[in-house]
Structure 1
């Protein structure tokens, strides 16, 4: 049985897509754990303030955890297509072809945006490795490290979505899946 043209590449992309799905699921849970840490530290801070012995580092830790959580959750939302603009397009654009074009255009614009801002984010990290946070005395570069990591992960998520859109368009054009084509 001969493999269809581009079948090897498609199989490789599908395998990579499966690994990426697992990776983004881990990110999803990591962001959830960070939210849990945020809530626990916040509750502990409220209790200790009420008792008259506030935790000096709690506000700073909450801020840093919130920043990391945001930059780790953003790629998950991108991959799951749960950002607000996706909902708006799905709600207000009823033509399937127009919707796909708008999704694809939005994905490409966001991809360009995150790639463009990755460089300045890396600069920000390197410039702030010496500066220390006020209460916890950790290098601020470690706090800002979430920005380039988040941007790179967003770019990976965008590429995944763009390739997924092209894959779906190809399936619609051929009237089936690439797996079915390989069997025929």
Structure 2
């Protein structure tokens, strides 16, 4: 069941971030055309691109964590015994659970509630929607950490070199 949820989440995140990237490309092209062809720069495009990049980075970061495509320095840990490596991986997962729960989710919800009354300059949407990417990615990372602990995958690194089928 956990693996099924993980596969669905991976597909959902991949589709969502890919669609957001496609929209970003279109908006960036519109920004260039409106500025250099029509001599009338778009007022919303730069802000939209900035906030979309934040969302793609945060949500994509959760996917990168799950698929082990993030930066990890394991050179020191790999020099020790398998038992020590397993203990370190469990410790790292527990620390990531604490970080994602306290900083990303709790702190993110606090930040969202604090900034919901502020509006962006060009788009006119509440800033809380921009910061909402933090607790959402925190929930995803928390889920992926717990799923890895449930699957007892902390002892050996998972092989995620295959591409995701969407």
Counterpart of 2:78 (choices 93, 106, 119) is 93
What SS does structure 1 have at the residue aligned with 2:152?
Answer: helix
Q: Give the TM-score normalised by structure 2.
A: 0.81
Separation of aligned partners in 2, 1:128 and 1:154? 23
Cα distance change on mapping 1:96 and 1:168 into 2, 3 Å:
closer
Q: Mind listing any 5+ residue stretches in structure 1 that lack a counterpart?
A: 1-14, 170-184
Cα distance change on mapping 1:58 and 1:31 into 2, 3 Å:
same
Which structure carries more relative contact order (alpha carbon 8 Å, separation 6+)? 2
Q: Deviations over 1:84-138 (max 9, x none)?
A: 11xx327971554343333222222111111111112111111111111001111
> 2:24 corresponds to which residue?
38
Counterpart of 2:141 (choices 151, 154, 163) is 154
The total of aligned residue pairs comes to 153
Counterpart of 1:81 (choices 45, 62, 68) is 68
What SS does structure 2 have at the residue aligned with 1:32?
Answer: helix
Is 1:62 equivalent to 2:71 in the alignment? no
> 1:139 corresponds to which residue?
126
> 1:20 corresponds to which residue?
6
The structure number with the bigger radius of gyration is 1
Q: Does 160-169 or 47-56 show the bigger shift?
A: 160-169
Is 1:53 equivalent to 2:56 in the alignment? no
Q: Mind listing any 5+ residue stretches in structure 2 that lack a counterpart?
A: 157-166
> 2:100 corresponds to which residue?
114
Q: Deviations over 1:145-180 (max 9, x none)?
A: 1111111111111111222235868xxxxxxxxxxx
Separation of aligned partners in 1, 2:85 and 2:155? 13
Structure 1 segments of 4 or more deviating over 6 A?
Answer: none
